[in-house]
Amino acid sequence: MAERIITTGAPPADLYRIIAENVCDGVLYVGLGDTCQYASPSVEEIIGRSPGSMIGVGLLSIIHPEDLPEVERHCIELLERRRDRFTIEFRAQHSNGRWVWLEASARAVPDGDKRSAVTSVRDIRWRKQLEDQLLEALNEAEEKAQALERLANSDPLTGLANRRRFMIELEKAARRASTLAICDIDHFKVINDQHGHQAGDEALRGFAAAAQASFPDALVARIGGEEFAVLMTDTPVEDSVARCDAFLAGLARDGCTLPSGERLALTASIGIAATPCLDASELMQRADRLLYAAKRTGRNRVACEQPEEQRAVA
């Protein structure tokens, strides 16, 4: 019954013409090479070119240069019998000069001992716009997520890792060869009392910048108030002590410059502990105990678990 309804009242050739000339998608018959031999009326709605003006046109000539290599590759594979059909998206030039996104579905048809192609094309510019909007929204959401993660893991004043981030990394480092240095700026309360809290903030930022520069391969964090931590992995204790000594020497020499231009002297005390340890908390406790030992014995020095390696910075 279905076949009788389809064919009744119209010869098959007329039926195919009616279909080709009334479907919303444009229909193209592409001869040998890329020359258009037939274009349906819908093509004009899609790219603004009348069917008659399309005859004899090399279709590759209206494809965007950035999309052309991929379209050419598909066409060659079709003509060389490496595939029978393909679907591809590309930009074609509208008669008004603008580029419009199209989706083309091509299928090979016999043409003597060679091949031609019947191609249907549809305008997908609105879909592309929606895809671009979706991609933009996803990128924006990802940027916001990354910003929130940075806020959750960074100290807002110095830009260093915060205590939360540091403890996560310390838990991992506690299971391998690692050295932990806890640093505390000496007499920080005096800086705030004598110069104001803005100067105190500058001192914290200056200390953070100096520590980051001195330990570029380590994780430097502000873990509270004027207290900082440096996590060095795969670094022997003696090397860590030497690096901390050099850092304190540079800090005492350079200090910090306030917005007013006044130079502010800075020193710090450091306690160093190293793995093996039971866990991150135990390593922190040992380093913290050594920090206060450095403060008790004169400040501006490094204290480690080997008494002979406690020293004042010249």
Query: What is the span of the domain harbouring residue 103?
Result: 2-125
One domain, residues 192 and 80: no
Query: Considering its fold, how many domains does the chain have in total?
Result: 2
Only one residue has tokens 């996560």, namely: 168
pLDDT digits (tens, 9 = 90+) for 245-271: 999 999 999 988 887 788 888 999 999
One domain, residues 92 and 158: no
One domain, residues 120 and 159: no
Separation of CA 114 from chain center? 48
Residues 6 or more apart whose CB falls under 8 angstroms from that of 236 comprise 179
Give the strand pairing for 99-111 and 301-304.
Answer: unpaired
The confidence score (pLDDT) of residue 200 equals 92
- Catalytic annotation, residues: 226
One domain, residues 179 and 218: yes
One domain, residues 117 and 159: no
One domain, residues 296 and 168: yes
CB 120 within 8 A of CB 26: yes
| Confidence check: pLDDT of 309 > 50 | no
The confidence score (pLDDT) of residue 262 equals 84
The confidence score (pLDDT) of residue 308 equals 44
One domain, residues 93 and 188: no
Average the pLDDT over 141-165 and give the result: 90
One domain, residues 62 and 185: no
Please report, for the domain that includes residue 237, its CATH number: 3.30.70.270
| Confidence check: pLDDT of 6 > 60 | no
Evaluate whether residue 136 is within a structural domain.
no
Name the residue among 191, 192, 166, 210 with its Cα closest to residue 265.
191
Evaluate whether residue 148 is within a structural domain.
no
Final residue of a structural domain among 83, 110, 125: 125
Evaluate whether residue 259 is within a structural domain.
yes
The confidence score (pLDDT) of residue 258 equals 81
pLDDT digits (tens, 9 = 90+) for 81-93: 898 999 999 999 9
Evaluate whether residue 147 is within a structural domain.
no
Evaluate whether residue 134 is within a structural domain.
no
The confidence score (pLDDT) of residue 310 equals 38
- Its pTM stands at 0.59
pLDDT digits (tens, 9 = 90+) for 216-243: 999 999 999 999 999 999 888 999 999 9
Better pLDDT: 282 or 113: 282
Please report, for the domain that includes residue 48, its CATH number: 3.30.450.20
